[in-house]
């Protein structure tokens, strides 16, 4: 907020608090002699409306008040006129409570006031609903004053009250009319802040947040709709946006609060109401800000929606009100009074009731006072509960002292265990760092096998790695004297030991057919490696002998900690191995086309540069073919992309069968393929290209048991040294040859040169 705005706010608040008994300034209502005329006036060449220059009494019709004349029938322009009475004024101004929507005021052919912008068609956008202060020229008495009005809103014309008064009296009059709303808004804001504090302190009680939201929205609505807001900052549209947002937020906050009170009854209707109103709030404000529609047009639909929501809420609450707490019933009563005043205000705004000031702020005051009374009631109950709690706490002190001594003894054992764990974590950290530097799983498992004895010490054990045919071979054993009481291999088909369920130790006996039975309490850990292609696979099994070790842990707690540490270590190793497997697969996928299984363009670019250098260095021939499927776009458009993908796979299979293992077949992109033939002359490449063309023509494309016919290909061939260029340039030459093949009618082979 700027310094000027702060000074304005301070001045307004000072006037508000220094005027407890502010008297009405003298004013003269203008209620007689009004006339109206539908449509808009033509203008003279000097830009003066012709209607203000001619009396034409037969064109004007009398009206009691310049608002909503009869027979509108979709019209958006209307003129009003009135002859202002004489009076004893120092600085006479014409005060208008509000206008729907924009207005010009003319006296003696001179424009003395304008709010909003009129275009060449007499239309304009909504600019807000401020009160209007129109300074009257000297000698205005007895002269007609003309009001040019445009409105595409439900109402059209002047609204509220129209009076003549002195400028200083108008400012005091505005402050007096706003004093009540500002004071109650301040009180409601204080209640909202207290509710926010309670919501932060007691996060399990969400009702405080809903109460805070409701009171804040109400306070902001009171301030925004008060006439004094324009004395703080003359930004009518800004205040109307704030008023609309806070007004539209009221049913959201109300429904949220009721939903929390009725949560045991699953109030899906209440839940739907606050969601619908929240969507309306966001859509209305964003649409108005984006210029899709005027903010003014969002009020009538909301009022209708709000009335329907209140009826639904009343029906839901009426069925369950007896089951609510007393304070909830009191707040609901305050809600009801506040909403009743809002409904009366709606009726006045839409012309259902005659204009008058509806004390909506008193409804907000009643709700705020209800919150204060309930809070004081709860505070008294809390104090009584605290007294009882103090007595209970004193009785528990002795009991907790005894528990603390037991915990101290346990803490000593825990410290010794932590020292042991820290050493193991250091070893594990070093192993994980080394594993991350491995290039593949084979290297990683070799390092892991060497490190497991240090990781598992002082436990004796063995490690088994998955081999072929679902067998797990013992690749490491430590801590045992001969003979080793653990099997040489594990057969997955005959059953593997289940992973140990910590902290419980279980006896496991090997399946039938293994070399020996495990004769002691054995711990089992699976080393699972997850990859994108194979999924989660058990790549290793760790068996550890637990007899005699856990007796030294001094407690069940120590045993559990040791087991948990081992389990976490194996999990971290599994995660690291999985990342290595994923890295290996990504390396593979980066050079492979996912659809056809051929190498991709990235791989081609790297290998072609290498083969070109080898051919030039060793003076060996090098040929290159570029293949393009003819009319493939038409095939896709006719049979669909799924059939097109199937066709690409079939052509890729033919390519792989037609060329040598030493030739490189790649998918170059889209329906184009490229073949690098190291050591092949131009004649050999031409023969292969012709064979390929025939092979493609002879194979029918079958998709979903339907014969789609055969495809044809165009092939461009270039060879080195026949081309007379450097080997790397034959790619461009082959592309030119392919272009000639297409130009010549497709389904053919062209050789460059």
pTM above 0.75, yes or no: no
Q: What is the DSSP letter of 602?
A: H
Q: How far apart are CA 731 and CA 439, in angstroms?
A: 34
In three-state secondary structure terms, 687 is helix
CA-to-CA distance for 490 and 487, rounded, in angstroms?
Answer: 7
Mutual orientation of helices 236-261 and 207-225 as an angle, nearest 10°?
A: 160
Per-residue confidence (pLDDT) for residue 261, from 0 to 100: 66
Q: Identify the band that residue 392 occupies on the pLDDT scale cut at 50, 70 and 90.
A: confident
pLDDT of the residue at 174: 85
- In this prediction, residue 412 has a pLDDT band, given cuts at 50, 70 and 90, of low
- What is the reported pLDDT for 506? 44
Predicted confidence at residue 556, as pLDDT, reads 54
Q: Pairing state of beta strands 706-710 and 672-678? A: unpaired
pLDDT at 589 over 70: no
State the average pLDDT for the chain.
81
The predicted pLDDT at position 357 comes to: 66
> What is the per-residue pLDDT across 427-446, written as a single tens digit (0 to 9) for each?
888 888 888 888 778 888 88
pLDDT band at 557 (very low <50, low <70, confident <90, very high): low
For residue 552, how many other CB atoms are within 10 A of its CB?
10
* Non-local CB neighbours of 594 within 8 Å, separated by 6+ positions: none
Identity of the highest mean pLDDT range in 140-154, 340-354, 392-406: 140-154
What proportions of the chain, in percent to the nearest 5, are helix, strand and coil?
A: 50, 20, 30
Q: Which of 195, 182, 260, 224 is nearest to 12 (CA)?
A: 182
pLDDT score for 413: 58
> Lowest-pLDDT range, 363-367, 516-520, 530-534?
516-520
Apex CA 8: angle with CA 7 and CA 14, to 5°?
Answer: 90
The set of residues, in sequence order, having a beta carbon less than 8 Å from that of 18 and lying 6+ positions away, is none
17 pLDDT higher than 60: no
Q: Are 311 and 347 in contact (CB under 8 A)?
A: no
Instruction: List the alpha helices (DSSP H) in 458-600.
Output: 556-589
Per-residue pLDDT, 515:
40
Instruction: Please tell me which residue, 327 or 694, carries the higher pLDDT value.
Output: 694
Q: Is residue 630 within 8 Å of 701, Cβ to Cβ?
A: no
Is the per-residue pLDDT at 510 higher than 50? no
Residue 24 pLDDT: 45
Question: What pLDDT score does 562 carry?
Answer: 75
Q: What is the pLDDT of residue 118?
A: 93
Residues 6+ apart with CB under 8 A from 348: 354, 355, 356, 358
| Residues making up the chain, counted from first to last | 753
Burial of 222 per CB tally in 10 Å (0-12, 13-18, 19+)? buried
What's the mean pLDDT in 238-246? Answer: 85
Question: For residue 707, with 0-12 CB atoms within 10 Å meaning exposed, 13-18 middle and 19 or more buried, which class applies?
Answer: exposed
Report the C-alpha gap between 347 and 730 in whole angstroms: 84
Q: Which residues of 576-611 are buried (b: 16+ CB within 10 A; e: fewer)?
A: bbbebbeebeeeeeeebbeebebbbbebbeebbeeb
| pLDDT computed for residue 9 by the predictor | 43
Residues 248, 302 contacting (CB under 8 angstroms): yes
Share of the chain above pLDDT 70, in %: 81
């Amino acid at each position: 907020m700027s310094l000027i705005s702060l000074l304005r706010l301070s001045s307004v608040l000072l006037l508000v608090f220094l005027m407890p008994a502010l008297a009405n300034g003298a004013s003269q209502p203008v209620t007689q002699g009004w006339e109206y005329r539908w449509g808009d006036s033509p203008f003279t060449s000097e830009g003066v409306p012709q209607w203000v220059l001619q009396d034409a009494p037969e064109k004007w019709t009398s009206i009691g008040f310049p608002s909503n004349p009869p027979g509108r029938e979709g019209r958006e322009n209307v003129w009003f006129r009135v002859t202002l009475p004489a009076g004893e004024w120092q600085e006479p101004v014409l005060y208008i409570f509000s206008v729907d929507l924009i207005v010009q005021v003319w006296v003696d052919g001179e424009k003395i006031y304008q709010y909003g912008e009129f275009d060449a068609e007499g239309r304009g956008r909504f600019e807000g609903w401020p009160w209007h202060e129109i300074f009257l020229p000297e000698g205005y008495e007895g002269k007609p004053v003309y009001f040019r009005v445009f409105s595409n809103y439900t109402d059209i014309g002047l609204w509220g009250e129209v009076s003549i008064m002195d400028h200083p009296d108008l400012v005091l009059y505005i402050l007096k009319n706003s004093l009540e709303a500002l004071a109650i808004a301040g009180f409601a804001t204080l209640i909202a802040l207290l509710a926010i504090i309670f919501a932060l302190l007691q996060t399990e009680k969400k009702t405080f947040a809903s109460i805070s939201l409701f009171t804040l929205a109400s306070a902001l609505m009171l301030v925004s709709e008060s006439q004094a807001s324009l004395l703080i900052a003359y930004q009518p549209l800004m205040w109307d946006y704030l008023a609309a947002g806070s007004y539209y937020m009221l049913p959201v906050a109300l429904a949220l609060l009721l939903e929390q009170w009725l949560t045991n009854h699953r109030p899906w209707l209440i839940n739907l109401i606050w969601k619908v109103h929240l969507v309306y709030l966001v859509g209305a404000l964003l649409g108005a800000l984006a210029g899709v529609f005027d903010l003014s047009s969002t009020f009538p639909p909301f009022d209708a929606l709000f009335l329907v929501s209140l009826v639904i809420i009343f029906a839901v609450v009426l069925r369950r009100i007896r089951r609510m707490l007393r304070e909830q019933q009191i707040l609901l009563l305050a809600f009801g009074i506040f909403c009743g005043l809002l409904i009366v205000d709606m009726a006045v705004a839409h012309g259902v009731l005659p204009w008058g000031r509806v004390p909506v702020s008193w409804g907000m005051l009643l709700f705020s006072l209800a919150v204060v009374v309930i809070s004081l009631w709860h505070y008294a109950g809390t104090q009584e509960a605290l007294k009882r709690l103090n007595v209970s706490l004193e009785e528990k002190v002795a009991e907790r002292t005894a528990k603390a001594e037991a915990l101290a003894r346990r803490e000593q054992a825990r410290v010794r265990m932590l020292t042991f764990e820290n050493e193991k974590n250091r070893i594990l950290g070093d192993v994980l760092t080394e594993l991350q530097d491995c290039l593949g799983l084979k290297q990683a498992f070799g390092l892991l096998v060497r490190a497991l004895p240090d990781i598992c010490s002082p436990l004796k054990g063995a490690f088994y790695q998955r081999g072929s045919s679902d067998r797990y071979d013992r690749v490491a054993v430590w801590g045992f004297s001969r003979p080793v009481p653990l099997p040489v291999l594990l057969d997955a088909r005959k059953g593997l030991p289940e992973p140990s369920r910590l902290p419980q130790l279980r006896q496991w006996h090997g399946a039938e057919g293994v070399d020996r039975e495990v004769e002691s309490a054995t711990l089992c850990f699976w080393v699972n490696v997850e990859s994108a292609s194979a999924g989660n696979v058990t790549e290793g099994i760790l068996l550890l002998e637990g007899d005699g070790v856990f007796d030294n842990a001094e407690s069940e707690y120590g045993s559990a900690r040791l087991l948990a540490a081992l389990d976490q270590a194996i999990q971290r190793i599994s995660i690291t191995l999985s990342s290595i497997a994923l890295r290996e697969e990504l390396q593979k996928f980066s050079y492979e086309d996912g659809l056809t299984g051929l190498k991709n363009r990235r791989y081609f670019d790297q290998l072609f540069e290498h083969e070109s250098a080898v051919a030039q260095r060793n003076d060996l021939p090098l040929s290159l073919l570029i293949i393009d499927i003819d009319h493939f776009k038409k095939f896709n458009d006719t049979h669909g992309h799924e059939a097109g993908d199937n066709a690409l796979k079939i052509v890729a299979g033919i390519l792989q069968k037609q060329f040598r293992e030493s030739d490189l077949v790649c998918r170059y992109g889209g329906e184009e393929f490229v073949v690098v033939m190291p050591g092949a002359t131009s004649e050999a490449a031409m023969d292969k290209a012709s064979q390929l063309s025939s092979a493609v023509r002879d194979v029918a494309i079958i998709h979903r048991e339907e014969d789609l016919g055969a495809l044809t290909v165009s092939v461009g061939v270039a060879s080195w040294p026949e081309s007379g260029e450097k080997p790397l340039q034959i790619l461009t030459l082959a592309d030119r040859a392919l272009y000639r093949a297409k130009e010549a009618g497709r389904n053919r082979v062209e050789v460059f040169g």
